[in-house]
A and B are shown apart, each in its own frame.
Chain A
Amino acid sequence: NAGVTQTPKFQVLKTGQSMTLQCAQDMNHNSMYWYRQDPGMGLRLIYYSASEGTTDKGEVPNGYNVSRLNKREFSLRLESAAPSQTSVYFCSSPGEGTDTQYFGPGTRLTVL
C-alpha cells in the first residue's frame, strides 16, 4: 500500500514547454486534489475531482488542465509552461469516512 504517489519528483522546463504531472492512489478513494505550494502563499487548490470522469476548478486553475481517467489516477497538465508556474505541486486524497487527507511527496517544478 503506497498511499499517494507522484511522478516526477523534480522537473525543469523552459518557458512554453508542456508536461504532465502524474498522481496515483491505491486506497480506493473517490476524491483527489491538486495543490500548489509557493513560499509565502501556502497551499492553494488548482483542481478537484470527486470521482472518475469529473473535475472542477479550484482557486488557481489558469494555465492547467486535468484528467481523471480512472479511480486511481489524476494527472495535471501544463500546456505552455510559464515562470509563474514554478512551484511545488502536491496531489492529495481524503480517506473515505475519515476525511484525513493523504498527500503525495510532491513534484518540484522549475520553469526557466
Chain B
Amino acid sequence: KQEVTQIPAALSVPEGENLVLNCSFTDSAIYNLQWFRQDPGKGLTSLLLIQSSQREQTSGRLNASLDKSSGRSTLYIAASQPGDSATYLCAVDRYSGGGADGLTFGKGTHLIIQP
C-alpha cells in the first residue's frame, strides 16, 4: 500500500527566507505527484503537478522536484511571504487523474511565515 510522508510536520520561519518542504512515497509506481495548498477551513488548491516522466515544475516562486526512483519530492518556496502561510499537502496517484485508487495524501506541512 502506498504511503506518503511529509517532513517537517510544522515549520515557522521569518519572512523572506527560502524554504524546502519534503515529501516521500514508498511505491515508485506513480503516475503524477501533486502539491496542494490548504488554507484554514478551506478546500485544497493544486499548486504544481509533476508527471512521473518529469523532474521538476515551476510556478512563480514555487519549484517542485521529483526523484521517482528514490521516492522523493521537494517543494521549494523562494522569498517566503506571510501570505504563504498555509498547510501544504503532497499527493501521488497510480493512474492518470487518480483512477479507482484516487490520490494518496501525506498529512501535510503546516507552514507559518512570520512578518
A-side residues, CB < 8 A to B, are: 4, 31, 33, 35, 40-43, 45, 48, 50, 56, 58, 90, 92, 94-96, 98-106, 108
Within the assembled complex, what's the spacing in Å between the Cα atoms of A29 and B91?
Answer: 20
13 contacts between A and B (CB under 8 A): A42-B105, A42-B107, A45-B102, A45-B103, A48-B99, A90-B43, A92-B44, A99-B32, A100-B34, A100-B46, A100-B49, A103-B36, A105-B43
Within the assembled complex, what's the spacing in Å between the Cα atoms of A56 and B102?
Answer: 11
B90-112 near A? 1/0 per residue, CB < 8 Å: 01010011111111011110000
Known: A42-B108, A90-B43, A106-B42. A101 touches B100 (CB 8 A): no
Interface of A is mostly: strand
Asked if A99 contacts B102 (CB within 8 A), the reply is no
**Told that A99-B34, A103-B45 touch, could you supply 20 new A-B pairs with CB distance under 8 A?**
A31-B97, A33-B102, A35-B102, A42-B4, A42-B106, A48-B98, A48-B99, A48-B102, A58-B102, A90-B43, A95-B97, A98-B49, A99-B49, A99-B96, A99-B97, A99-B98, A101-B34, A101-B44, A102-B46, A106-B41
B-side residues, CB < 8 A to A, are: 4, 31-32, 34, 36, 41-46, 49, 51, 89, 91, 93, 96-103, 105-108
Contacts of B99 in A (CB 8 A): 48
